[in-house]
Amino acid sequence: MKFLFATGGTAGHINPALAVASYIREQYPDSEILFIGTKDHMESRLVPNAGFDFKTIDIRGFRRSFKPKAIVDNVKTVFKLIKSEQDSKKIITDFNPDVVIGFGGYVSGPVLEMAAKLHYPCCIHEQNAYPGITNKQLAKQVDKVMLTVEDAKKHLEPKNEPVVTGLPVRGELLKKSKADARKELNIPDSKTLILSFGGSLGAKPLNDAIYPIILKDCDSKSICHIHSVGTNGADYLDKFRENGFEEKSENILVKGNCEVRLYIDNMDTCMAAADLVIGRAGASSLSEIEAMGKASVLIPSPYVAENHQYHNAMALVNRNAARLIEEKDLTSDSLQAMIDSLLSDTDTLLEIEKNARQMAIIDARERIADIIIGLAK
C-alpha cells in the first residue's frame, strides 16, 4: 500500500503525522510512504530525519491585512497557489497513493484538494478544538475527518460524520512513572513540583509573570520549580544569574529549589514528575497533559490563528480538567493566586488530574492508522 501525507509549518502538525506514519510502517513494512511539505519549514528537516521520503511544493498562507505590502504578497500567494496545485497533481499521479492524509498546515490545502478532485481516498486530522481555515474547507471534500476533541465538530460542515480519534503523544511520555521521574530529577516526595514553560521558543508574558514567582520559590521549604524560558528567552537567564542563580550545566541555572533552563529536552521526565503544569495551550501539549493526568494552569497564546489555543484550553476548562488565565489578565499576582488556590486544595487538584486523565485517548495513533488503512483497502 502507498500512503501520501501532507503537512507542515509547525511541530504540532508534523509530529502527530510522523507518529502515525511510523506506526503504519511498523505494521506494514512493505508499505510506501511519501510526505509533501515545504522546503523552508521544519518538516524539511524532521521528515527526512525520521526516514521518510519527502517532496516539496511552494505554498504559503494569505496575510490578513489590507496594507499595500500585504496586498502585493497576497497576489504573489495566489500565483503560488496555482503553481502548488499543478505540482501537487504531478506528485500525486506519479506516486499513485492508496490514500492521501492531511495533518494541517497550508501545504495540506492544495494537496488534499487535488487528491479529492482526482478521486483518491482522502482524510484529514484536525488537532485543535477550533479548526483552521484549511481544514474547514477540506472537511467538505474529503472522505473522513478525524478530530482531537469533540468540540471541533460544531465548527465544521463535513461531507461525512467526523470521528474523534485524539492526538498521538510520544510513547516515552506513557512509560515514565511519577516516582521514577522524581527520583531521576532528585525531587523529594515531600515537595511539590511546579513545571512551567511557554513552548520551545518561550513566551515573554509568561516569563515576565513567572520571574518573581521563581525568585520566591527558591527559598520555599515545600515547592520545587522547573521553568523553561525558551530559545527566544535567553536574556532571562542573565536576569536569573544576577539574582544568584548558578550554572548547573550549559543553559541550565539553579538556585535553592528552582531550576531555570533555556529548553527542556527531557519533557517526559519533567512532566511525569510534576504536580502542577503551567503553560500555553497547543494541542500537542494538552494531549500530553491529558495522557499523564496532570493538573494545569493554561495561558493560551492570543497570537495564533482563529485564537485556537483559547478553544483548546476551554475544552479542558469546561470539563474541570484545567484552569485558565487569559494573557490579558496574566500578572505575577494573578498567576501566584491561581497556584496558591490549587496547591492549597488537594481534593480539587486530584479532581482536575482525574478529569484530565479521563479526556486522554491513549491509542490515538492506532485509531488514526486504522481509519487510514480502512480507506486504503
pLDDT at 176 over 90: no
| Beta strands per DSSP E along 262-340 | 276-279, 296-298, 323-324
Query: Amino acid identity, residue 274?
Result: A
Which range is least confidently modeled, 114-118, 201-205, 350-354? 201-205
| Nearest residue to 358 via CA among 327, 304, 322, 312 | 322
What distances in angstroms separate CA 273 from CA 56, 202, 357, one per listed residue? 40, 21, 15
What's the pLDDT score for residue 68?
A: 60
What's the pLDDT score for residue 77?
A: 56
pLDDT at 156 over 80: yes
Quick check: helix, strand or coil at residue 353?
A: helix
224: number of Cβ within 10 Å: 24
What's the pLDDT score for residue 196?
A: 98
Which range is least confidently modeled, 69-73, 184-188, 349-353? 69-73
What's the pLDDT score for residue 163?
A: 97
Using pLDDT thresholds of 50, 70 and 90, give the confidence band for residue 64: low
Cα–Cα distance measured from residue 198 to residue 346, given in angstroms and rounded to the nearest whole number: 25
The CATH class that applies to domain 172-359 reads alpha beta
Q: What are the residue ranges spanned by the domains of the chain?
A: 2-167+363-376, 172-359
What are the φ/ψ torsions at residue 177 (nearest 5 degrees)? -85, 155
Residues with Cβ < 8 Å from 211, sequence gap 6 or more? Answer: 236, 239, 240, 332
Torsion of Cα atoms, 129 then 135 then 140 then 142, to 10°: -110
Helices marked H in 50-170 = 68-95, 108-117, 133-138
The per-residue pLDDT for range 71-108, each reduced to its tens digit, is 555 555 554 666 778 899 999 999 999 999 999 888 99
Cα–Cα distance measured from residue 166 to residue 169, given in angstroms and rounded to the nearest whole number: 9
- Please say whether the structural domain 2-167+363-376 has been given the CATH code 3.40.50.2000: yes
Q: Provide the total of helices (H) and of strands (E) in the chain, helices listed first.
A: 15, 15
63, 72 contact by CB (below 8 A): no
HSE at residue 338, side-chain half, CA atoms within 13 A, is: 23
- Do the domains 2-167+363-376 and 172-359 sit in the same CATH topology, yes or no? yes
What nine digits make up the cell of 181? 521521574
What's the pLDDT score for residue 81?
A: 64
What is the residue-averaged pLDDT of the chain? 92
- Considering only residues 80 and 314, tell me which one the structure prediction assigns the higher pLDDT: 314
Length of the chain measured in residues: 377
Residues with Cβ < 8 Å from 107, sequence gap 6 or more? Answer: 6, 7, 8, 9, 36, 37, 38, 43, 57, 59, 84
- Considering only residues 64 and 131, tell me which one the structure prediction assigns the higher pLDDT: 131
